[in-house]
Amino acid sequence: MRIAMVSEHASPLAVLGGVDAGGQNVHVAALAAALARRRAHVVVHTRRDDAGLPRRVRTGQGVTVDHVPAGPPTALPKDDLLPHMQAFAADLHRQWRSHRPDVVHAHFWMSGLAAVAAARPLGIPVVQTFHALGVVKQRHQGARDTSPAARLAIEQELARSVDRIVATCSDEVFELLRLGADRRRVSVVPCGVDLAAFTPVGPSAPRAPGRLRVLCVGRLVERKGVGNAISAVGLLHRRDVELVVAGGPDAGHLDDDAEVARLRGIAGQAGIADRVRFLGRVGRDDLPPLLRSADVAVCVPWYEPFGIVPLEAMACGVPVVASAVGGLVDTVVHGQTGLLVPPRDPAALAEVLDELLLDVRRRASLGRSGSERAQARYSWDRVAAQTLAAYADVVPSAGARTQPLSREVSS
């Protein structure tokens, strides 16, 4: 099966941790690799953001990454990319006219815009994953939402017109139905986790003796709720708790980062500046040991379409405290694999952390259950199989042309 993925701003080759590099990059890279393991031919089309990039790169997982020339070959904020989508679509159309994929899978709304423009004249079916919806972002961020004004109308048109929508959580389905999507054309397929890397057993990062560790991992943008986590740690009754924050710029550039400065200000006001540590960007190989070093992983965004970090923590056997929003409600089973709290509520978060940090047995139980749930439901090979089932709804011969995994690979 020939699959064209379109991910205009989120390259599977990107270094993670920046403002626009995070879960979508992981999702596209891992899903493409899992589909390739099932003998699919996968090309990921992403915008060229560096003049030195070759046109095509073949990854070690058997996926081809195509750097599409559209706009200046330099890094741009994703909210500035809309004017370049016409050129992006024109390039895709030229490619697909001579090398036709069986299905196009667009990731994010601007990718969907380009994919439909390129594929529709050729009669190629388009599958859409939004990863985030503008109407939800606007609801939570209001005037701070920097999305292009056309986003809401374009997403509504995509929801009504693409051949299939792959939503990443059940909450997203309700939002899509409000946009006019046909429920019969919506599949729910979660994100996955690399179960070979994120395991309960393995090396653990060093930690300060005599302190309990709460860990936040993710992009340093306000809506991720790191400021709320800092405020919560400042409200804890016990004073032997450190908060480690991983993400953002490289460690050497933390002092120049505006969001780090804002978060340090919150820590100072809470009187815990000496117990909040910013690591900066952490490499993917270093993330599992860092997660294993934590007593609790905290993920409290204001809203979250899915959220890969809680899954990675669960797979490492670490209990999770998460906001009861979006995809986190699907992945974190309250009282079984972690605990859910209201978003933007440091007092509620502090109350839960106070109780959990006192109870080592409960933390261990939640961690074990989280690891079991991740193993059973969220392998990328399982996600790939569910995605192929969604493709089969628009490409009837999909299953016949995509071989199943061998027993050794799928186990």
Angle at 153 between CA 147 and CA 158, to 5 degrees: 105
Residues 182 and 240 in one domain: no
As a whole number of angstroms, the distance between CA 200 and CA 198 comes to 7
Residues 290 and 335 in one domain: yes
How many domains, in total, are found in the chain? 2
Tokens of 89: 């679509």
Whether the predicted pLDDT of 245 surpasses 50:
yes
Question: Which residues, in sequence order, are CB contacts of 345 under 8 Å at separation 6+?
Answer: 228
How far does CA 295 lie from the centroid of its chain? 23
56-58 and 64-68 beta bridge pairing: antiparallel
pLDDT > 90 fraction of the chain, expressed in percent and rounded = 84
Tens of pLDDT along 292-345? 999 999 999 998 888 889 999 999 999 999 999 988 999 999 999 999 999 999
Residues 133 and 228 in one domain: no
Residue 176 lies in a domain: yes
| Spatial CA neighbour of 32 closest among 381, 306, 411 | 381
pLDDT at 98: 96
As a whole number of angstroms, the distance between CA 349 and CA 352 comes to 5
pTM comes to: 0.87
pLDDT at 144: 82
pLDDT > 70 fraction of the chain, expressed in percent and rounded = 94
Residue 254 lies in a domain: yes
Residue 202 lies in a domain: no
As a whole number of angstroms, the distance between CA 37 and CA 361 comes to 39
186-188 and 164-167 beta bridge pairing: parallel
Burial of 400 per CB tally in 10 Å (0-12, 13-18, 19+): exposed
Cβ-contact 304, 310 below 8 angstroms: no
Tens of pLDDT along 11-67? 998 754 444 456 788 899 999 999 999 999 999 999 999 999 999 999 989 999 999
Whether the predicted pLDDT of 406 surpasses 70:
no
Residues 170 and 265 in one domain: no
Residue 204 lies in a domain: no
19 or 110, which is more confident: 110
pLDDT at 142: 82
| Average confidence score pLDDT of the chain | 92
Tens of pLDDT along 337-367? 999 999 999 999 999 999 999 999 999 999 9
pLDDT at 68: 98
Instruction: List C-alpha distances in Å: 352 to 127, 266, 273, 319, 326.
Output: 40, 20, 22, 12, 20
Residue 201 lies in a domain: no
Domain coverage including residue 280: 212-377
Instruction: Write down how long the chain is.
Output: 411
Query: Residue 241 sits in a domain of what CATH number?
Result: 3.40.50.2000
Residues 265 and 182 in one domain: no
pLDDT at 17: 42
Residues 248 and 185 in one domain: no
Residues 368 and 385 in one domain: no
